Amino acid sequence: MFDVTIIGCGVIGASLAYKLSRYDLNVLILERENDVAMGTTKANSAIVHAGYDPAAGTLMAKLNVDGSAQMEALCQTLDVAYKRIGSLVLAFNDQEQQTLHQLCRNGIANHVPGLQLLSGEEVKALEPNLADNVCAALLAPTAAIVDPWGLCLAEAEVSVRNGVELRLNSGVTGIDDLGDHILVHTVSGSYQTRYLVNCSGTHGHEISAMVGPAEWQATPSRGEYYLLDKTSGSLVQHVIFQCPSDVGKGVLLSPTVHGNLIVGPNAEPVEDMDNCATTLAGLDEVAASSRKSVPAVDLRQSIRNFSGVRAVTSESDFIIRPSAHAPHLLHVCGIKSPGLSAAPAIADYAIDQLQTIGLELREKPSWDGSRKQIRFRGLSQAEKAAVIARDPQYGRVICRCETITEGEIVAAIHSPIPPCSIDGIKRRAGAGMGRCQGGFCGPRVLEILAREMHKDSMDILQDGRGTQLLLGRTKGGANA
């Protein structure tokens, strides 16, 4: 019998597991994919929003500001990349200047610190590559950029190290409310739990419907992106927004913590919650909108296009409340933007809700919530020499674009949540993140995975289920 079972191991589920791992509880995470961070967590803008956008008085506003305030210290504790660079919302006409004033007033009501309204001259002094017709901007200095899948992985790994159980490939197929506990059926077996938390992202309504009529309607929205080479990473120094609309915060341009430039997203309603296709029309829309803000953006420097699906629902606010049909089921759903920014505070609020419905908490006498990683590229020459002396595998560079060593890849493979794919290594160690996107290092990473995991190379995946790279062998026995 588990005390708490969490459905979904994106950044919301992982944040909750991380904070629950501090307590003397038996906690289980059920994840339908073969790795953590496989949904919206790995396909978003990677922005920690300041909190001026959500309507004052909403749960979204409170948790955005609270989560943003926690994020820097959390990332430092977990050794996750984070940079506070600030954001700018641009205005191109008098009407949009009025929108900036509204956003500023709203941000002040939300207790966002440091907001400033800038003239066109002031904002162009900060960002000389902005369009000439930018006439004003709202500066939010507390906005930041972060590694979203790195945060999710770190929290999940520390949770597992502190006793949380993680079951991958365990999509939920049914839920039985048995009064004093819940029986959760999955493709990997059935599990008894006293409390169940629905953190299943875009599929949250499906979990809700397993215990009674669905409590909200899913209206998912897909956003497409360009990721540009590091040669474009310094084109802007802040997160650059346009004035928000009814469908979202619009197309942005932002440096990433890895040194690239991210451009996007658009907003397109989709029926399939897993439809992460990229389209010519969608990318053309992103291109045209981005050039309105920064005409000099060179989308020929794109090294990857991708899309993510937002967990938009018929409710405008986050859905964090007990089920109307099963009192021991807590929904943590509809976590669209600024969900990443709010994630630490969402976890706190969810724990408060669990206590309200009966969960008792007792802190463990000892708990280590920290994590450290060796990132060879960032070490001094003396530190590199010392690391190589301890483990010669750190002296062999596998990914030339990102200077990722065999030692880092092997450490990722033997981490608390071992990857089963080449992209799993990419998210953990960074191999394949660079200009060639794994074109050079991918085959070598595959070999290392097969060697370290004692698997046939034919069984190594590119990413999710069904993404085998090698489909047969030549007559001589070599992989083909």
Catalytic residue IDs: 49
468: left (phi over 0), alpha (psi -120 to 50) or beta: beta
Does the bond joining 265 to the residue before it have cis omega, within 30 degrees of 0?
yes
What's the Cα-to-Cα distance from 463 to each of 37, 206, 217, 308, 466, rounded to whole Å? 12, 24, 30, 15, 8
Interior angle at CA 386, CA 381 and CA 388, nearest 5: 95
Residue with tokens 């419907």: 209
Query: What whole-number distance in Å separates Cα of residue 343 and Cα of residue 349?
Result: 10
Query: What whole-number distance in Å separates Cα of residue 347 and Cα of residue 458?
Result: 39
Query: What whole-number distance in Å separates Cα of residue 433 and Cα of residue 423?
Result: 9
- Among the residues of 5-141, which ranges form H helices? 11-20, 59-78, 94-109, 120-126
Does the bond joining 338 to the residue before it have cis omega, within 30 degrees of 0?
yes
Pairing of strands 87-91, 252-255: unpaired
Length of the chain: 480
Composition of the chain by helix, strand, coil, percent to 5: 35, 25, 45
Query: What whole-number distance in Å separates Cα of residue 118 and Cα of residue 51?
Result: 18
Query: What whole-number distance in Å separates Cα of residue 452 and Cα of residue 404?
Result: 17
The two three-digit tokens of residue 454, written as one number:
């004692």
